[in-house]
Structure 1
């Protein structure tokens, strides 16, 4: 009994001594669970935003790789932007050029519209008349400022006579400008192709323009024959037209008896004297070609006209006129043995056809009795008592090689009144 009680009391004492410990442990566990629930990262977890936080080796390596990738990506983007910028600059340049061309076309279209006016219905039979006069180009003094200044002083109403000359034609040139001065024509200019002619003109108070050196044509200009020099005029005249001036182009084998500007119509791009010698040859005619082997269809009708003389023509500053000069100059440069007068007429007259676009230029033939060639004078006029009374505007010694003596004879006959001055010359030439 005693033993049993002692054991029971010991048991109770041990049990009572363990209870506070168990309770403390339980409380600790409970507090730990509560803290774990509310503070999962602990009370002293470092702030992720803190700049000086320590990183693990793996984090450092990862960040370094990401930075290198970003740098490479930025470099790639910069290169892409550079290429795009270059492409945009190219596009801007192309657009600017297209805009410039569009403005030119717009300006030309506006001029054409102004010339054409409003659209109208066709009028009654016999009253409809088409337009013939093309608008002039906008002057561009930047083409040749020095020439522009000379033309301002020499030209009258934006037009003048122009002749090209080198030392080979000095004697004819003297007769040429002496006759111009005698008539009282103020607006004329000599394009000197060498220094000797330039000095000769200055010493005789003749307006002169000496071109700037040009290796491509200077040799021909200084030493070329009449035909060679004649071919240069189409290139040189272009600048006059670009500057906005109408030009009466003149060879130097011409005698002036009246002021030609009083007899021009100015309604066409080109107004030229003719090599024709009567109404048919000068102004055109229906020439019948006969081919007997064709039987019923043996007769074929053709239209004929004798050529314009490329040594005396009036040309206005229009787009078709400039295109004519360009076409002729281009062909002569590629076909140096071609005759400039033949090329001049082919470009004026040949129509559009397969493989070729014709020139759309208005043209007028001058009165062949007023703007007279030497065939008309020596073969017809001097033998007709009535026609001898006419006073031409100019006489061009284009049909005869003995130019200087015939020019002097024309002056004697028409200016000095020597009635037999023309008699000693044959109709044609001796060869």
Structure 2
């Protein structure tokens, strides 16, 4: 019986050692191949590169970088052209935005007119039976415009603080009338009238208002209007107000426009009717001249028809009037401002012509309602110096709301004398002045 072959310990050890040696060789070969590939990839020109070759490579790289940097940093003609086109496009865009803003404003204004017309048609379009004799009254008071704060947000914010019940006194002033303005706002402050605003036409008036705690509004720069406002006299500044007032009305505020040569003795807002587009003081000095009369014109050559009847009224004073924020009121300001910009004319004459001239061939009259103020309450200086101061009864009974020194050139001393007479009780204060302007 054959016994199985037994393998001794020595033979088993030799076999496993040979396998181990073979595996080490395989690993070493694999690592060698991998390292070869790595060196070939990272050092394609060999590991030991000459210094000259390295310098050439570095120089070439710097040249490429320099070209890239130069190309990216130095503006080419095309870039310059693109910049110029961009600049032109920006200017055109700004101009288009300005035109859009103007068109938007005109569109809002047209929409207001449309709404105003629709509302009036709704009121007037209803048919009514005529009531008994003496009871029929037509519509006198036009509707107020819809306030548009986008017209002037800065002014809107000021008016919101100053106005009382959407009303205020507005005075335009430059340094030429500084002393008269001081007399005026002193009387305003003494009466405790809060809704008073100075439209400051130069920096000196701004400083004056700030130092006396007077509300003021300094307009945004406007080359055309600024030259008039800063250096113009009374009449030049007077014509300027028609352009400035428009924004106040568009913002929905009723304005009591006041020249600086006016002394305040009572709060004027307690004496307004507010039933008309324009409520103005008169240059008239009695019932006939102030409120109108039939003036007969005599032409003897006409024989039987020699007498022609005419209706006359002395003009409204454009230096003191209350104007409501209505479409006819804004149209009045536009008409007067346009004519003053294109004609050599007195603003008060134009103001009255546009208010009173009727429609006729080639001309559409203004459909604005108007009221004449009581000439003893809203007094001009002719009434005071020619009549009231000489009449003992009138001196006692009549205390005007305001006195406008419109008939006399020596305005400042007369304003001070009026304050002495009515405020401080000096009965002799008015006596030294002549009736008129003679010295």
Match for 1:375 among 370, 378, 382? 382
1:405 aligns with 2:390: no
> Residues of 1 paired with 2:114 and 2:190: CA distance?
46
Match for 2:224 among 216, 235, 254? 216
What is the CA-CA distance between 1:117 and the residue it aligns to? Answer: 7.8
**Counterpart in 2 of 1:338?**
345
1:373–1:131 CA distance, 2 compared to 1 (3 A): same
What is the CA-CA distance between 1:313 and the residue it aligns to? Answer: 0.1
Match for 1:308 among 312, 316, 321? 316
**Counterpart in 2 of 1:202?**
210
Q: Is the 8 A contact 1:249 1:312 kept in 2?
A: yes
> Unmatched 5+ residue regions in structure 2?
1-99
**SS of residue paired to 2:360:** coil
**Counterpart in 2 of 1:268?**
276
**Counterpart in 2 of 1:386?**
393
> Residues of 1 paired with 2:329 and 2:189: CA distance?
29
Q: TM-score of the superposition, structure 2-length normalised?
A: 0.74
**Counterpart in 2 of 1:284?**
292
1:245 aligns with 2:256: no
> Residues of 2 paired with 1:332 and 1:245: CA distance?
24
Instruction: Indicate the RMSD between aligned Cα atoms, in angstroms.
Output: 1.9
> Residues of 2 paired with 1:115 and 1:327: CA distance?
27
**Counterpart in 2 of 1:357?**
364
Q: Is the 8 A contact 1:189 1:209 kept in 2?
A: yes
What is the CA-CA distance between 1:216 and the residue it aligns to? Answer: 1.3
What is the CA-CA distance between 1:107 and the residue it aligns to? Answer: 1.7
Matches within 5 A, 1:155-234: 155-234=163-242
What is the CA-CA distance between 1:110 and the residue it aligns to? Answer: 3.6
1:424 aligns with 2:432: yes
Q: Is the 8 A contact 1:374 1:399 kept in 2?
A: yes
Q: Is the 8 A contact 2:112 2:146 kept in 1?
A: no
**Counterpart in 2 of 1:153?**
161
1:129–1:172 CA distance, 2 compared to 1 (3 A): same
The number of equivalent residue pairs is: 336
**SS of residue paired to 2:392:** coil
Q: TM-score of the superposition, structure 1-length normalised?
A: 0.76
What is the CA-CA distance between 1:217 and the residue it aligns to? Answer: 1.1
1:380–1:104 CA distance, 2 compared to 1 (3 A): closer
1:296 aligns with 2:309: no
What is the CA-CA distance between 1:101 and the residue it aligns to? Answer: 8.2
Q: Is the 8 A contact 2:151 2:247 kept in 1?
A: yes
Relative to structure 2, which stretch is displaced further, 401-410 or 124-133?
A: 124-133
**Counterpart in 2 of 1:255?**
263
Q: Is the 8 A contact 2:151 2:251 kept in 1?
A: yes
What is the CA-CA distance between 1:263 and the residue it aligns to? Answer: 0.3
1:287–1:148 CA distance, 2 compared to 1 (3 A): same
1:346–1:139 CA distance, 2 compared to 1 (3 A): same
**Counterpart in 2 of 1:329?**
337
1:115–1:134 CA distance, 2 compared to 1 (3 A): farther
Matches within 5 A, 1:102-113: 103-113=111-121
Match for 1:396 among 385, 400, 404? 404
Q: Is the 8 A contact 1:115 1:134 kept in 2?
A: no
> Residues of 2 paired with 1:178 and 1:166: CA distance?
17
Q: Is the 8 A contact 1:115 1:135 kept in 2?
A: no
What is the CA-CA distance between 1:288 and the residue it aligns to? Answer: 0.2
Bigger Rg, which one: 1
1:204–1:264 CA distance, 2 compared to 1 (3 A): same
**Counterpart in 2 of 1:88?**
none
1:99–1:359 CA distance, 2 compared to 1 (3 A): closer
Per-residue CA deviations over 1:280-328 (Å, capped at 9, x if unaligned) read 0000000000001111100000000000000000000000000000000
Matches within 5 A, 1:2-17: none
**SS of residue paired to 1:386:** helix
